[in-house]
Amino acid sequence: MQNTACQLLVVGSIGIDTVETPAERRVEILGGSASFACVAASYFAPTAMVGVVGTDFPEAYMDLYRRSGIDLQGLQIQEGQTFRWSGVYEENMDCRTTLSTDLNVFESFSPEIPENYRDIPYLFLGNIQPALQLHVLDQIRKPEFVMVDTMDLWINIAREDLLRVIARVDLLTVNDSEARLLTGASNLRKAARELLQMGPRYVLIKKGEHGSVLFSKDSVFILPAYLLENVVDPTGAGDTFAGAFMGALAEKKATDERSLRQAMLLGNVVASFGVEGFSLDRLQALSREEITERADLLRAMMAV
C-alpha cells in the first residue's frame, strides 16, 4: 500500500507487554495504542502509523503490521529498547495493577510527520503527552476529523497543554472517571456539557463493559457493549475501539452524527473481538464478514 492512499493517520505508543489475566500470563507480547488502533482501523481504511520502537523490536511484529497493510514510513527505529509495560488483571477484568513501566526509547519520542502524511484527512491522537499531541497538530495541514484520547495522568500534570489540544480537535474520548476529573462534575451529562464547552464538537465517554455515550451540543447517543461470555485480555480495548471507529469514518468519508453512531457500533464490535485473545492475536485473524455478522447481532440486540 502506498502512503499517498492513506485515509487515516494514527499517532501513539508502541510497546512490548507482559500481561497476566485470570486466563494465563503472556510475556513480551505486542502492545501500545498505535498497534491496536492501526490493526483495527485497517479493516476499514488504508492506515499510516507514527510511533517509535527500539532496535530490539521483533521482526515478527513488523511483519504483523505489514500483513495488515499498515504504512510504516512514519515508524521511527531508535537505538535502545522498546517501551515496555507489565500488569496483572483482577478476576473481574475491570481493574488492573501495573507492575512496571519502562519508557526506554519512548521517553525521547518526538513524533515527526512525513510530508506525505500531512494531508491525510483523518487523525487519531493516541494517549501520549499533550505537548506531543500539539506537536502533531502543528504539522497536520487541514484534517477532516481529529479524535484525541488522554488519561488521568495528563489531566493531573499537563492540564494546560491538554486543554489546548481539546480546543483543536473534533472529538475527545475519555472514560467516565476522567470526564469527572477533568471537569469536577460528578454527573456525566454535566461533565460532557463542560467538555463540549472546551472546544470539541463531540465527546465520547467510554464505560467499559457498559458501552459508550456520544455527546454533542444537541444530542446524546447511548451504545451498549456487545455482551461476551469469555474475555481473555482487555488490554488495548479502548484503542481498538478508537481505531475501528476512525477507520469506519475514513472509509465512509463522512462525519455527520449518523455516521459517527454507525462508526461507534463498528468500533464496539471490533473491540469485542480483540478482547477474546491476548495482544493482537484475535484482531489480526478477523475477517470483514465476521465484523458485519456481529454488528448485525448487536443491532438486533438493541431493536425495540
Comparing 32-41, 86-95, 98-107, 164-173, the range with the smallest average pLDDT is: 86-95
| Sheet bearing 220-223, strands edge to edge | 71-78, 47-54, 8-11, 122-125, 145-149, 171-175, 202-206, 212-215, 220-223
Question: DSSP letters of 36-98?
Answer: HHHHHHTTTS-EEEEEEEETT--HHHHHHHHHTT-EEEEEEEESSPPPEEEEEE-TTSS-EEE
Residue 14's domain comprises: 3-157+233-302
CATH of the domain at 131: 3.40.1190.20
Q: Which residue has the cell 487515516?
A: 8
pLDDT band of residue 38 (cuts 50, 70, 90) is: very high
- The per-residue pLDDT for range 280-301, each reduced to its tens digit, is 999 999 999 999 999 999 999 9
Place of cell 495493577: 97
Q: Does residue 79 have a pLDDT over 90? A: yes
The share of the chain scoring above pLDDT 90, in percent, equals: 94
Tell me whether residue 13 is in a domain: yes
Residue pair 171/216 in contact (Cβ under 8 Å)? The answer is no
Query: How many C-beta atoms surround the C-beta of residue 38 within 10 A?
Result: 32
| Per-residue pLDDT, 209 | 81
For residue 221, being part of any structural domain is answered with no
pLDDT at 92: 83
Which triple of cell numbers denotes residue 23?
A: 486466563
Phi, psi of 254 (to 5 degrees): -150, 145
pLDDT of residue 175: 94
- 161 in catalytic set: no
Which pLDDT belongs to residue 214? 98
Model confidence pLDDT, tens digit, residues 219-249: 999 999 999 989 999 999 999 999 999 999 9
Residue 192 counted as domain residue = no
CA 257 – CA 277 distance, rounded (Å):
32
Number of domains observed in the structure of the chain: 1
> How many other CB atoms are found less than 10 A from the CB of residue 212?
24
Asked if pLDDT for residue 3 goes beyond 60, the answer is: no
Q: Is 27 inside any structural domain?
A: yes
In a domain, 173, yes or no: no
What stretch of H or E contains 247?
A: helix 237-252
Contact 83, 102 (CB under 8 A): yes
Instruction: Indicate the residue type of 113.
Output: I
Whether residue 124 is contained in a domain is answered as yes
The mean of the pLDDT values for the chain is 95
Does 172 fall in a domain? Answer: no
DSSP code for 209: G
Instruction: Specify whether the backbone of 253 is left (phi greater than 0), alpha (psi in -120 to 50) or beta.
Output: left
Give the predicted TM-score (pTM) of the model.
Answer: 0.95
Q: Is the pLDDT of residue 1 over 60?
A: no
The answer to whether residue 282 sits within a structural domain is yes
R_g of the chain, CA atoms, integer Å: 18
Whole-Å CA distances, 78 to 105, 155, 245, 282: 7, 29, 30, 29
Q: What's the DSSP call for residue 176?
A: H
Instruction: Over range 179-198, report the average pLDDT.
Output: 96
For residue 304, what pLDDT is reported?
86
Given 138, 233, 239, 256, the catalytic residue = 239
Mean pLDDT computed over 200-211: 92
CA distance 291 to 267: 10
Tell me what the mean pLDDT of segment 265-270 comes to. 98
What does the block give as the cell for 262?
A: 454507525
